Structures are given as structure tokens and as C-alpha cells.
A and B are shown apart, each in its own frame.
Chain A
Amino acid sequence: MAEPVLEVRGLKKHFPVRQGLLGRGVASVKAVDGVDFAIHPAETLGLIGESGCGKTTTSKLILLQERPTAGAIVFEGRDIAALTGKSLLAYRRAVQMVFQDPFSSLSPRMRVEDIIAEPLEIHTDLSRGAIRARVEEVLDLVGLPPDVAPLFPHEFSGGQRQRIAIARALATNTRLIVLDEPVSALDVSVRAQIITQLEHLQRTLGVSYLFIGHDLATVAHISHRIAVMYLGKIVESANSDTLCARPLHPYTQALFAAALPSHPDDPRPDRTIAGEVPSALALPSGCRFHPRCPSAMPVCSQVEPVLQVSAAGHQVACHLY
């Protein structure tokens, strides 16, 4: 297989919790606690988990909005922590982001053409005419006519705005786009448009996606591989088809049990897991999932399981396997 576009190794981000007058660190929130994954060219990695599992912190680390506590992010063979000057700019150009809510991610005071041109002005020395041409080109890529360029975001519906956000992310010949719940804020009837568009763009441009989501069916549909996160750790990762056919980790199984049916006659799960995600400030000992796990054993509360290969391309962190 080709060299990965992005590789994350042992990535950790701990946020200190300060208390008292002197602001002494009394504890730390282990938002991301040892995460490894790789994204290959033209591949989509789905990152799935509930709120507080660290998926958004992971995306911030990749976008250099936060500095990791430990671990490395390697982009096309180079550690991004070591990038400076021109090479850092090149990285920022190659990795872009699309946010969940297109109503707050686009400036209401900028015209569509300026929104899309901004990254080009920062990152390239194209002439004004060339930028204009590129803006029209990416608008066409996301299925918007060129005459929308002089309009303002408020003149568009949610789905169209998300297309503008995708166009902006694509403008600089992007290699990797981080998509943080890109369809959750959209109307149901336009979600499929955006997903189909993203899949089409990947086929034609070879761009890679990190798709962050909480809806299993959507993530499974668009992703080639899926990593399931729970409290800062990846508990299972596998090919999308493999994972859907045979989820191994009890938490992944619980997510599948909690997933909504696509037909009233679909078999109903006999049980959904009890309890709620514990606070990241007071992590359970051993396996972080053991207090909610239906198959917890004595060892689970003592020893933390590590991610191990259970079958080709299928990794799981659980004492059961």
C-alpha cells in the first residue's frame, strides 16, 4: 500500500486542571491518551465516538490548533511538530477543515468569492485573475454555479453553505480534509447530497478525509476504515465492512445496539448498555469501559488492555480477545 498521507503515533493531549490561588495543576483531563492511526491517499478514516471521547481534540491536534502532550503526527513522511516557515505553510495548505455548522463557519460579511479566495491569497501568489478562475473551478467542483460568487452566505440554505465550506477547503489543492460532523446540522433531505458530493470529490481528486461523526450508519457509509474512540483511546479499528459485519469490542457492539433501525422489522437489541460516559477527570482503572461493560471480568478493572491485531486489519483493545 502507498505511503500514508497522515500518520498519528502515540498521540496524547492532557489538559491540566488548575485550582486555587496559585493555579497549581491538581489533575489533568486526558482528552486524547495514546492514539495511533494512519490515513492513506484517497481514503476516508471514520472516527466515531460519543461526546467527550476526544475526537474533536484529535482533529484540533491535526490542525495544529493544539500542541500534543506526547506523540507525533507525521504528514507525508515528516513530523509536523518540526515544520517551520515555508514547510509549515505548505502543511496548513494541504490540510483543511470543514465544520459542523455552516451557519457559523462562514463569515456573514464576506462574499462567497472572498471566502473561497482567502486561503488562496494567503497560501499562493496567484494573480487576481487566476484566483478568480480557481474560485469558479472549485465552485463547479462542489456543484454550485459561478454566478453565486458575489453573493453573501445568508442567501444560501444549509446544504449550499456546506458546499461553500467544502469549496473553501478544496481551494488550495488540499490533500486531507478534516470533516467534523459535516452533515449533522443539515436537513435530512440534503444530507445525502453532501455525502454523495464528498464521495464524488474523493474519487475525482484523490483527497483523503478524516470523517468525525457519531451516527454509525453515516460514518460506515462514507468511510473505508473506522476507528472507535472511547474516553481518549481507540478501542477498535477495522475496515468499515469488517466492523459492521463483526464488531468485537463490547463498546462497539453497544454502539451498534444503540444504532437506530432502518426498518421497523429490524431485530431489536435485547439490551442497551447502562450508565453514562464517566468524567475524563476521574477515569476508571484498568479498561476505561469496564464499569459499563456487560462482559467485564476481574482483570478488566486492573489491567488496561492494549490495541492488538485480532485479524487482518482488525484491531481491538479488549481482554476478551
Chain B
Amino acid sequence: MVAVLQVSDLQTHFFSFGGTRVVKAVDRVSFTLHEGETLGLVGESGSGKTTTCLSIVGLVPRAARIVGGSIVFEGEDLAKKTEREMRRIRGRRIAMILQDPMASLNPLFTIGRQVAEPAFFHQHLRGGALRARVQQLLRAVRIPSPEWRMRDYPHQMSGGMRQRIVGAIALAGGPRLVIADEPTTNLDVTIQAQYLDLLKDIQRELGVALIFVTHNLGIVARMCDRVAVMYAGKIVEQASVRELFDDPQHPYTRALIGSVPKLGSKEPLYAIPGQPPNLASLPSGCHFHPRCPHAEGRCMTEEPGEFHLGDGHVARCWLLEHEAEAPHGRTRP
């Protein structure tokens, strides 16, 4: 398998008050994504998952800056690219699908024109060839009678259709990597299921790599091959999806899985105490320690590093220190 994207030690910080206050929105994040693979980036609001994605496409807000690490995409480090160079990559080789389709579509242009834009700029298609390409893309995202619907405006479409149009725009440049940031949050459950199926089908067909940002573990279970769980700017655990659900190692991951209701089970939920931390005033040591049932003296003072548990399973927790040291992966009681 070919690595499409390799993010290593990425650090994106927000600076305020003339640089006197620094918020580490993304703090030493590393992951690798292969061709045709789906990585789930899971976390709560403020965990840094969106900033991680914005760093990859070079769209971090003005107050933020990538201060360290590398983002190697098809052999090139995106963190070193100029804005001009990034513009030639975005929309062509990397595409992004955002949460709210009404906000990412322009209400004043027909959807045909908006779907055509990437093909117009990047592939220089014109006239009939451009129209044919738009219809092909709309058909790929299952818009019925695309030759008519391409003349419609976004407000004439339902929420599910709008999000499919955004999907068509993302595919227009023929990307190798698609980043979907909570694309189904605003959709109804049956429409969400249709959309997830569609994304999966398209991915299988085109072999694109997909980063799926979500707070919903159910979507991860359904869509992803690998999962990275983020908490307060750091990836606290990373594993294959099966391994993460069968054998979660970080207390936060375990708590998260235990706190989600399961269909047909009335077992009491595990309520994680406390609130997600404020990134501007993070707890010392391990950022999860105030909410962690296993926290001990060291967790409050020293930040845990990455412990490798074999098979690409990585977690940041002091509890795993001894297990990780064993030469052949894990020895668990």
C-alpha cells in the first residue's frame, strides 16, 4: 500500500495578545493514511480535529500557524508550500467536505456552475466537455436527471441533495485525498445512512483516501479502517477500528465507548465526570487526568509519551508504560 499522507509531529498553535498567549490546538499529531483507506478523526469540540484538517489543506485561520512537524502528501511537504502552490493542490488533489452544505454552496450560482468550477480551473475543460463532466459528477452522487438539476440553485434542493452536490464538487478535481468534516451532522438519520453508503461506494470506485472527522463513534464503526482519538489537541489513541472497539487502551477511549447508548441495551451508561478542558488553560501532566478514573500522582505532573502496542496501536497513557516495553508487543494480565 502506498502512503498518500504522512503527518508527523504536526503542531499548530493559535497566538493571541501579540503572541504572549499560545493555544496549542494541534500538539504533536502524527498519522499515516494509505491509498483507499479511511481514517476516523474522533474527538469532542475543541479537541483539535478540525484544526488538524485545516492545517493539511493550508487554511488555518489568521491567528494560527503551523509551528512544527511535516505534512507529507504524495512525497511533498505541504507545511512548506506557499499559498500559491497550495491553491493548485486544494480542490484538485485534496478536497474538503464541510459540515453545513448551505454554507459551503453559493446561493447565487447554479449548482452546475459550482460543480464545474474545479474542472474549469484545474483541468481547463470548456463548453460541452465541461457540461458532460458536470453531469457525470452529478450522476456519480446520484442526483436524478442531472441535465435539468444542474440549472437549479442550492435553495431548490433538499439538505441531503445539497450535501451530495458538495460531494460532487469535492470529486470534480479528481482528488487523491478527501477530508470530510462532520458531513452528516445536519442530515436526518435515513439520509445520513444514504450519504455514508454513497461516500463508501465512491471511495471504493476511485480509491481515494478519506479522513472522516466526527464525534460519532457509530459513524467510525461503520466507515473507518483506522481511528485516531483526539483529546485536547493530542491524539491519545490510534488503532485499527476493530482493535479500538475490541481492546481500547486509553481510559478516555474506553470511557467514550462506554458512554454511548447501545441499541437494545438498557445497561447504565458510563458518565465521564467533568467537562472537556479549555485549551487556554490545560491541566498539567496528562490533560485527561482530572476526568480519569485511574489517574495517579505521576499523571498530574508528567505528560505521557506515545506507547507503541504493536500493529500500529499507539496510546498516550502512563498505565501502558510497562506493557509497551515488552519486546513482542503486549503482555497483558
A residues apposed to B, CB below 8 Å: 50-51, 157, 159-160, 187-193, 195-197, 199, 214-218, 220-222, 240-241, 244-245, 254-266, 268-269, 272-274, 276-277
Contact = CB atoms under 8 A, between A and B. Distances in A.
A158 B56 CA distance: 29
A272 B193 contact: yes
B197 interface: yes
Interface in B174-194: 188-194
A204 B260 CA distance: 24
Contact of A261 (B161, B192, B221): B221
Given A216-B189, A258-B193, A263-B221, A245 B261 contact: no
A114 to B, nearest CB: 23
A70 B328 CA distance: 72
Contact of A245 (B241, B262, B264): B264
Nearest to A274: B194
B312 interface: no
A188 B190 contact: no
A264 B245 CA distance: 8
B269 A262 contact: no
B256 A190 contact: no
A157 B266 CA distance: 27
A215 B259 contact: no
B121 interface: no
Contacts of A244: 263-264
A265 B188 contact: no
Given A195-B269, A196-B268, A273-B190, 9 more contacts: A189-B256, A189-B259, A189-B276, A199-B268, A220-B264, A221-B261, A244-B263, A261-B222, A264-B242
A244 to B, nearest CB: 4
B21 to A, nearest CB: 20
B190 A255 contact: yes
Contacts of B160: 276
Contact of A187 (B45, B158, B260, B263): B45
A195 to B, nearest CB: 6
Contact of A190 (B192, B260, B262, B275): B275
The 5 closest A-B pairs by CB, nearest first: A260-B218, A258-B193, A192-B259, A221-B261, A50-B188
B98 interface: no
Contacts of A276: 158, 160-161, 191
Contact of A159 (B216, B217, B258, B275): B275
A189 B221 contact: no
B23 interface: no
B190 A254 contact: yes
Contacts of A222: 261
Contacts of A272: 190, 193-194, 197
Given A192-B271, A260-B219, A220 B263 contact: yes
Contact of A266 (B161, B197, B221, B270): B221
B262 to A, nearest CB: 4
Contacts of B262: 217, 221, 262
Contacts of B296: none
Contact of A262 (B192, B218, B273): B218
B149 interface: no
B272 A192 contact: yes
